[in-house]
Amino acid sequence: MEELQPIYSNVKSFYRKARVLKDDDKIQLISYSTKVAEIKNGKAHIFGWYSATTTRHIKEFLQQNGFKTGTKAQLEKMYC
C-alpha cells in the first residue's frame, strides 16, 4: 500500500491519511481506515462520502488515474 501524494490538490501532504492499494485487477483508495473508492475494469466507483477531507482524497485519486472530477453532486452522478 502506498501513500496518496497530492499532485492536483493545493495541500502539501495528506499526512498518511490517504493510501492506495493496487491489486492485479483494481486500484482502491483507503481514506483514514475506510475504502472509499475503487477503479476496476477501467471504471471508477465511489462508495460514500465521509468528510470534506475524504472528498479531497477522492478527487485527487480520480484525477491521478485520468478520471474527471467536479462538485460532489457531479461526482455522485458519475461514479456512485
- Which pLDDT does position 32 carry in this prediction? 96
pTM of the model: 0.94
Per-residue pLDDT at 61: 98
Q: Count Cα neighbours of 20 within 13 Å in the Cβ-side half-sphere.
A: 17
Core vs surface per residue 32-55: b (16+ CB within 10 A) or e: eeeebbbbeeeebebeeeeeeebb
pLDDT at 69: 96
pLDDT for 57:
97
Q: Which domain holds residue 28?
A: 2-79
Q: What does the pLDDT read at residue 42?
A: 95
What are the mean pLDDT values of the chain's consecutive 10-residue runs (80 residues total)?
Answer: 95 95 95 97 95 96 97 94
Name the DSSP letter for residue 4: P
What's the domain count of the chain? 1
The neighbour count for residue 5, using CB atoms within 10 Å, is 12
Rg over alpha carbons for the chain, rounded to the nearest Å, is: 11
